[in-house]
Amino acid sequence: MPAVFRNLPVLLTFFAACALYAEEPSTPARVPPRNPVPYADVQWDSVRRVASTSHAHIGTQATLDRAYEDGLRFFTISNYYPSAPWWPLADIRTNQFRAGQEHGVMVRGEFKNGPFDWNAVLQDPETGWAGGLPDDLRSQIPFVVGGQVFTNIPGDILEAPNAEHHSFTDTQLHLCAPGSAFRSGNFDARNRFKLVDHGYAMGVARPWKEAFALILGGLIVPDGGGVTINHPVWSKLSREDVIEMLDFDPRVLGIEVFNHTCALQQESKSCAEDETFWNAVLATGRQCFGFFVPDHGINASDGDWQGRNILLVDAFTVEDCLRAYRKGHFYGALLGSGLAFTKIAAEPDRVTVETNGANRINFITETGVALEVEQPSAVFRVPQTADGQPGVAFVRVKAYDAQGETLFSQPMVYAPKPE
């Protein structure tokens, strides 16, 4: 079945959400808490694994081809400038966001509804400033919308809206929002065409709580998808910052634990630090899902990109994939080599893990690696307190093989934060 027909129900919901997103903030009270035991209802014998990523910049046919050839099948592309979903892929044209945009932006601190015709803004005879731009920029105006960016879209993929949002007024946060139709900002990266100088915000330009409510209000599947906090250490977020965001709404799903673009920046240690950061958040008894992403890594020419979220779904649909993100029905993989968790079962006194070929399994709690086993399956006995309660805040699992693959389970929360 062609992808456009498989996506038709969510396409219709998407267009409705696009019309309402600026007016319909979400209502956190209706939403269940993040799942403390993510794999409890996974049917491991029949589950389907779908490779995805919550944060990937894919702007060319060649990059799309590479991601597809490397196994991605659920695409939530997270491009920015503007932070508008590249969805459906078949609709994206070259220069379309330069010529104009349908969504509104913050202008001098006030939200102004779209559409915006940027050619008209820049060339307005009274208020425009195109004539004062450098020759190399002035020669590009008027912007002309061209042909399709993606001319060969595989028929066996699924798509959902997403974008990377940035430039909040009260935090250095970057976030993604798989499944949200929310859009922000304009095309003028780094203010080259001076839109920011003339009052048009490049990004969100709102306080994060206000923006979160709007982003979550734009979810196309009410019980699927949500907000991911991108590269928290790179963004210089504190643990307290992340805790406040997690506590804002259960649909704030968690943090990026591995970001390949950070890993490619040799001077940065933030990727290793992000895993330590994750443990510190989990030690508070909060569920915080971990995400594993390439960011710009699929575009890198030096070696294979890393970072995937392997979704565990009953059916190959957009709705099931977004619900897997919401429920924590996924695990992380660096390479996508085929190494897989084939069972994760959490009971009050033990965690059982099986894989299809790991040579090492680590069980991790707030104290660090609590057990290391050099075999493809293992059981971890959960420490108990004197009164028979679990003696750890969480347990999570890492599995390795001889070829360099690493898998990361979602945390199983044993001592949840008191409400």
Q: Are residues 414 and 403 in the same domain?
A: yes
Q: Can you tell me the distance from the alpha carbon of 257 to that of 343, in angstroms, rounded to the nearest whole number?
A: 22
- Residue 392 covered by a domain: yes
> Of the residues 315, 336, 357, which one is the last residue of a structural domain?
336
pLDDT bracket for residue 141 (50, 70, 90): very high
Q: Please tell me the predicted confidence (pLDDT) of residue 269.
A: 56
Q: Please tell me the predicted confidence (pLDDT) of residue 26.
A: 57
CB neighbours of 227 closer than 8 A, spacing ≥ 6? 175, 176, 177, 180, 212, 215, 216, 245, 249, 251, 252, 253
Q: Are residues 296 and 345 in the same domain?
A: no
Length of the chain: 419
Q: Are residues 212 and 74 in the same domain?
A: yes
pLDDT tens by residue, 233-269? 999 999 999 999 999 999 999 999 999 988 877 555 5
Q: Are residues 44 and 186 in the same domain?
A: yes
Q: What is the mean pLDDT of residues 143-170?
A: 97
Contact call for residues 219 and 251 (beta carbons, < 8 A)? yes
How many domains are contained in the chain? 2
- pLDDT surpassing 80 at residue 417: no
Q: Are residues 331 and 343 in the same domain?
A: no
The full 3-state SS of 232-258, as one line of letters, equals: CCCCCCCHHHHHHHHHHCCCEEEEEEE
- Which value, to the nearest 10 degrees, does the dihedral of the CA atoms of residues 50, 56, 60, 64 take? -10
Alpha-carbon torsion (296, 101, 178, 77), positive or negative: negative
CB neighbours of 81 closer than 8 A, spacing ≥ 6? 97, 185, 186, 187, 188, 189, 202
The CATH number for 285's domain is 3.20.20
pLDDT tens by residue, 165-176? 999 999 999 999
pLDDT tens by residue, 319-334? 999 999 999 999 999 9
Q: Can you tell me the distance from the alpha carbon of 242 to that of 233, in angstroms, rounded to the nearest whole number?
A: 11
Q: How many CB atoms lie within 10 A of CB 144?
A: 11
Q: Are residues 353 and 329 in the same domain?
A: no
- Residue 323 covered by a domain: yes
pLDDT tens by residue, 172-197? 999 999 999 999 999 999 999 999 99
pLDDT tens by residue, 376-391? 999 999 999 999 899 9
- Residue 274 covered by a domain: yes
Whether cis (ω within 30° of 0) applies to the bond prior to 178 is: no
Q: For the chain, what is the mean pLDDT? A: 92
Q: What angle do CA 208, 212, 235 make, to 5 degrees?
A: 50
pLDDT tens by residue, 334-351? 999 999 999 999 999 999
Q: CA-CA distances (angstroms) from residue 125 to 97, 142, 322? A: 22, 14, 47
pLDDT bracket for residue 17 (50, 70, 90): very low
pLDDT bracket for residue 19 (50, 70, 90): very low
Pairing of β 360-365 and β 164-165: unpaired
Q: Are residues 306 and 418 in the same domain?
A: no
Q: What is the mean pLDDT of residues 399-419?
A: 91
Contact call for residues 176 and 70 (beta carbons, < 8 A)? no
Q: Can you tell me the distance from the alpha carbon of 184 to that of 182, in angstroms, rounded to the nearest whole number?
A: 7
Q: Are residues 261 and 373 in the same domain?
A: no
DSSP 3-state of 228: strand
CB neighbours of 128 closer than 8 A, spacing ≥ 6? 120, 121, 122
> Of the residues 312, 336, 360, which one is the last residue of a structural domain?
336
pLDDT tens by residue, 94-126? 999 999 999 999 999 999 999 999 999 999 999
Q: Please tell me the predicted confidence (pLDDT) of residue 416.
A: 79
Q: What is the mean pLDDT of residues 146-165?
A: 98
The CATH number for 354's domain is 2.60.40.2470
Q: Please tell me the predicted confidence (pLDDT) of residue 256.
A: 97
Name the E strands within 40-140: 48-53, 74-75, 100-101, 105-107, 110-112, 116-117
